[in-house]
Structure formats: structure tokens, C-alpha cells
Amino acid sequence: MKNSFILILFMLISSMAMATLTPALKQSKYRWRNNNGDEATATWKAAENTAITLTDAHETFRLRTEYYCTNAASNVDHFVSYSKDGGTTWTTVTASDTNDFMLTNSTLVTHGTSTTNQLGTSTGGTFAAGKVVSQNNPSMTMPIAASGRIEMEWVIKPTLFTQNSTTYLFENRSINTTGTRAVLNTNFNCTMPALTLPSSIGRCGPGTVELSGSLNTTGGSIIWRTAPTGGTILGTGLSITSPAYTANTIVYARGTKDGCTTASQAVNVSINSKPVVNLGHDLDTCLFAAQTIMLNAGPQPAGTNVVWDNNSTNLQRQVDQSGTYYVLVTSANGCKAEDTIKVLMREKPVVNLSKDGNSICLGISKILDAGTGGQNGGSYYWNTGELTQSISVNNPGTYIALVTASNTCSTSDTIEVVANGNAPSITGVQAMAQGGSTFKFTAVNPQYVTSYLWDFGDGSIPSTSPNPMYSYASNGLFNAKLKISSTCADVWDSIQVNIFGVGINDPKADERLLNVYPNPNVDGKLNIETQGEVSIESISMINLSGQEVSRFAIMDKGQTKHSIVLPASLSGGLYHLLIKTDKGMIVKKINLLR
């Protein structure tokens, strides 16, 4: 029995030795002190574990705390926290000024300095040095042994967000056992500032706005938030720049001075829509002369004001020359938008292949002219391969011209040439002497001729007969002309008629003036010799039809003897030699023997 009891006791002791002990860490003491010395010499604000009342919203002070650990070793965190709702919620005190309290550096103590025993030994346990904390970094976690204690000291100051007439609890939240929380009351001797804010602030289009207000006192500030209480802090100051907004919203502001903070006031932020104006990309375009470009400020709602750089107020504007154009659009809500466009207008060449119609009379060439636009450094190109301004066409078909001006603008034109008939044609005109001064005129081998018009060259009434007979009333050289017409064209031809048989002919007088020999003539060489003071002005030869077959140059009109050579192409027969002198016309009949 005794042995059994000893065995059970041994097993119980072994089980207790093997169990893991949980550390019990608590904040065992605190004491508020002034920021007027180092960690050992600064004076105390109150007795140990005694609350203080903070009356200066700008005062820097220190909190000294002791931490005691039992059962097992633990760690004390770098930061201390505060609660203003009796310990329900806690906020870490960091170097940020967006909480009620913040860490702050002091010239009297250095962050990370080891602490000495300032809070006595009444707690018991073994003392180990803690740290002075005045900033976030470097962060420190302090180990504490079982049955050990350390002292920490934080350098703290209130911020704009410190609330007046409020009780704050301070504690390092690494504890796991209820201990002694430091108590600080606020009772600032301050006057509540008066806050003046605009009821609304607007901007045109998404973006930031300038949030601004005023206080009736100097030295204060405004706290801007996204909600009446809590929410996100947007910033502090009499004027701040908000985040970028894309829609209407409400912000809230509180004025604060020396710890006195006003009630929250709302400011409506309106994001007004901007008018949309887009004149498009800059233009570099080719236009015909007198063409215009329409600039358009776009559809705009009622109440919109539009002003162009030339002070016109229409939504659209026509421009007819190169330049930079600008429009300002103001909507009914006062928002403005503007746009600028650069326009370069280059003149296109004018090409009109159909200006003279598109029909062709077969047998007559048609000239297609592409205009002058390709001159002076430009170019022409036809689908026929030709590179000239104009081309001559003889057949129906499709013809295309591409004209490029020196400014690189191009214009093309197409013409469909169609046949509208055949041109009239003859192989020649004959004037057959009928005796005396009468001739019979004939069109040789007429084709596609629908009408004739003969002009005998002496001012008489024209004839429309195909083969008219006509008698001249006087001597002379007459240019008889014939116009033949078809359904689509007119063609002219002509013949010269020499009349020398009208009036009195005195052969003896001719012989006294000049002689022509040899006549009849075989070798085609004729000598003309004048008698007395006679000057030869011109010599020509006509056949019996009145047609001129040769004309001879007179080298020296003052000579008395001239030699001429008849054309070898003349066949044998009778011809008339017309010799014009300063005494009149002399006609000699020549009998050419070949």
C-alpha cells in the first residue's frame, strides 16, 4: 500500500513538471512625468498610479510604466495604446498625427535609451532595463523573464484630434493579465472657435477640389473627414487638396483650437460635367478652289455658349483658308471646354475632260485637255501612257487623266468618248475652165457629205450646189473655198483661181514690154527679158484649170533678164505664165513639150 502511494505521488509530480506554464504579463505600475530631464532626472507630474489632468493641448509629456511577468518569460511590445471608451477599443500611439496622441522626439531623451529603476521595488521580482520610446523605428520588443519586471517610458504629445473633457486609458497591449491602466483626463482651458465653411464646392469634371474654410481665431486648424464621426481623415488645415472625385460627395469638417473642437459641418462637393468638344485631328487636305471645310463643335445641350476665335457663336463654322482655329464651349453649369485644330488647305488641280463634250466625229481627232494644274513642277499621266497636258484621240473609248499639282494634290477625271458620226472628206477641189472667166467647181470623191458651201473668193454670194458653175467679173487671183459638212463636222478646202482673160488683151503691147523664150519649150528652162523701164515683181504658172502649179522667186527686181526652171514634175501641155510687173499683169501662154 505504501509503495502504491509513493508511485502515484511520483507520477503526479512528474506530470506537473512536464506541463507548459503560461506567462502572466501585466502593467503593474504607471507614473506621469514632465518632459524636463533625462529618463532618470525628469520630474513627476503626479504620484505613482495617479491620474493627471492635461490642460495644455500642446504639451509634451511622458508616461513611465512597469511590467511584471510571472510563470514564464514573455515580451513587452514597442508601442503603448490608448482607449477613450473605457477600454473597449484601443488605438496604438505611433508617430502619426492622425490619432489623438502621437510619439514625439525630445532633445532630453534619446529613442532606445535603456531605462533604470525609477518606480521602486515594491512589485518584487528581478529588475531588467526597458527602453525609452519616442518614435516608430527602430522598433523594439523587450524580453522579460519569469518573475521579472522592466520599466518603459514613452514620450507623447496630443494632436489636433485630442478630445477635450475626455478620460483616456493608456496600456501596453502586449499584456495578458489585467493590471493598472494609466489614466489621463483632458480639460483644456480653451475657447471654442467659430468655423465658417462654404455650403458647397464644385469643379468641372473628375479631379481634386480645394477644401477650405476659416476660423475666427488664429492658430487653429480644420480637420477634414469623409464622415461626421470617424471615417477617413482627408487632411488638416484651413485649406487642403482633396482626393480625386468622379461623382458628387459630401465631406465633413471640424474646427479646432487648443483642444476645443467644433461640431462637424458638411460641405457638398459637386462634380459638374464638362462639355465635350472635339474638332478632330489636325487637317492636311486637298480641296478645289472655293471649297470650304466645316468645323463642328459637336452637339451641345440647351444653354451652352459657343464662341469661336472669330467671335462667331454657331456650333458650326466654315473655313476657306489654312490656319489655326479655336473654339470655347461653356455649359449652363459654367464648365468650359476648348479645342484647337490646325488646318492646312492645299488646292487641287481642276480636270474637266468633258468641257468640250464627249463625242468624236470619226475621221477627225479630238483633243482632250487635262488643264494647267500639272504645270510648274506637277505632272500628268493618262491611261494611254502619255505624260502631256493634252492628248489627241481618234477612236471612241475610255480615257483617264491623273493630274498632280506641284503641291502634291491630285485630281483624276474620266471621259467616255463616243462616236456621233463620220467626218466629211474629199480628195481635193477642182476648178475646170469652161472658157473665158467661167469655171466649173467640183469636190473630188466626197464621203459622208451632207451639204456644200462654195465661197468663190470675190465677195459674191456663196453657192450650196455640189458642182457649181461660176463666172468671174474681173481679172485676179482668187482663193475659192469649199466647206463640206456631215452630221458631226465641217471641213474646209480651197483652190486658187487666176483670172486673166477678162477685159482687152493687147498682145503687141505685151511684146513691147517683155519677151519669153524659147516657147514652145522642151528643156523646162525659160528666159524672160524686159524691154525699157519694166520691173518684174512676181512670176507664177497656172494650168488650164486655173490652179497654180509653180511660183518663182525674183532675186533682183531691177534686172532686165530673168531665167526660171520649170518643175520637172510638170507634164507636157499648155500653161499660162503670169508675170506681174510694175506696168500691170502680163500673161504668156507656154507650150511645154515633154
Question: Is residue 201 situated within a structural domain?
Answer: yes
Question: Is residue 11 situated within a structural domain?
Answer: no
Same domain, 579 and 526: yes
Burial (Cβ within 10 Å: 0-12, 13-18, ≥19) of residue 338: middle
Identify the pLDDT of residue 429.
Answer: 87
SS (H, E, C) 560-587: CEEEEECCCCCCCEEEEEEEEECCEEEE
Chain centre to alpha carbon of residue 282? 3
Out of 452, 477, 499, pick the residue that ends a domain.
499
254: containing domain:
195-272
Same domain, 49 and 34: yes
Q: Which residues pair with 584 in a beta bridge?
A: 581
Question: Is residue 353 situated within a structural domain?
Answer: no
Same domain, 124 and 45: yes
DSSP code of 387? -
346, 338, 300, 343: which is closest to 325 by C-alpha? 343
User: Residue 243: CA atoms inside 13 Å, Cβ hemisphere, count?
Assistant: 14
109, 24, 126: which is closest to 63 by C-alpha? 109
Contact (Cβ atoms closer than 8 angstroms) between residue 89 and residue 106: no
Question: Is residue 7 situated within a structural domain?
Answer: no
Q: Domain containing 551 — which CATH number?
A: 2.60.40.3080
Contact (Cβ atoms closer than 8 angstroms) between residue 213 and residue 200: no
361: cell is 466625229
SS3 at position 12? helix
Gyration radius of the chain over CA positions: 63
Identify the pLDDT of residue 506.
Answer: 40
The DSSP element (H or E) to which 15 belongs, if any, is helix 2-18
Same domain, 85 and 212: no
Same domain, 577 and 544: yes
The strand pair at 336-347 and 283-287 is best described as parallel
Same domain, 38 and 141: yes
Out of 243, 272, 301, pick the residue that ends a domain.
272
Instruction: pLDDT tens for the chain, 594 residues: list them.
Output: 445 555 444 444 444 444 578 999 999 999 999 999 999 999 999 999 999 999 999 999 999 999 999 999 999 999 999 999 999 999 999 999 999 999 999 999 999 999 999 999 999 999 999 999 999 999 999 999 999 999 999 999 999 999 999 999 999 999 999 999 999 999 998 999 999 999 999 999 999 999 999 999 999 999 999 999 889 999 999 999 999 999 999 999 999 999 999 999 999 999 999 999 999 999 999 999 989 999 999 999 999 999 999 999 999 999 999 999 999 999 999 999 999 999 999 999 999 999 999 999 999 999 999 999 999 999 999 999 999 999 999 999 999 999 999 999 999 999 999 999 999 999 888 888 887 788 899 999 999 999 999 999 999 999 999 999 999 988 888 889 999 999 999 999 888 777 765 433 444 445 678 899 999 999 999 999 988 788 888 898 888 766 788 998 887 777 888 899 999 999 988 888 888 888 777 888 899 998
Contact (Cβ atoms closer than 8 angstroms) between residue 413 and residue 370: yes
Identify the pLDDT of residue 385.
Answer: 96
Q: Which residues pair with 101 in a beta bridge?
A: 158
Out of 242, 272, 302, pick the residue that ends a domain.
272
Same domain, 42 and 160: yes
DSSP 89-127: S-EE--S-TTSSEEE---SSS-TTPBP---S-STT-SEE
Q: Domain containing 314 — which CATH number?
A: 2.60.40
Question: Is residue 8 situated within a structural domain?
Answer: no
Same domain, 42 and 174: yes
Same domain, 534 and 435: no
Residue type for position 315: L
Same domain, 302 and 169: no
Same domain, 414 and 438: no
Question: Is residue 65 situated within a structural domain?
Answer: yes
Question: Is residue 12 situated within a structural domain?
Answer: no
Q: Which residues fall within 8 angstroms of residue 402, CB to CB, at 6 or more apart? A: 380, 381, 382, 410, 411, 412
Contact (Cβ atoms closer than 8 angstroms) between residue 590 and residue 516: yes
Q: Which residues pair with 542 in a beta bridge?
A: 548, 576
**Based on the structure, what is the number of domains in the chain?**
6
Question: Is residue 352 situated within a structural domain?
Answer: no
Burial (Cβ within 10 Å: 0-12, 13-18, ≥19) of residue 508: exposed
SS3 at position 46? coil
Q: Domain containing 433 — which CATH number?
A: 2.60.40.10
How far apart CA 575 and CA 545 sit, in angstroms, is: 9
Same domain, 260 and 373: no
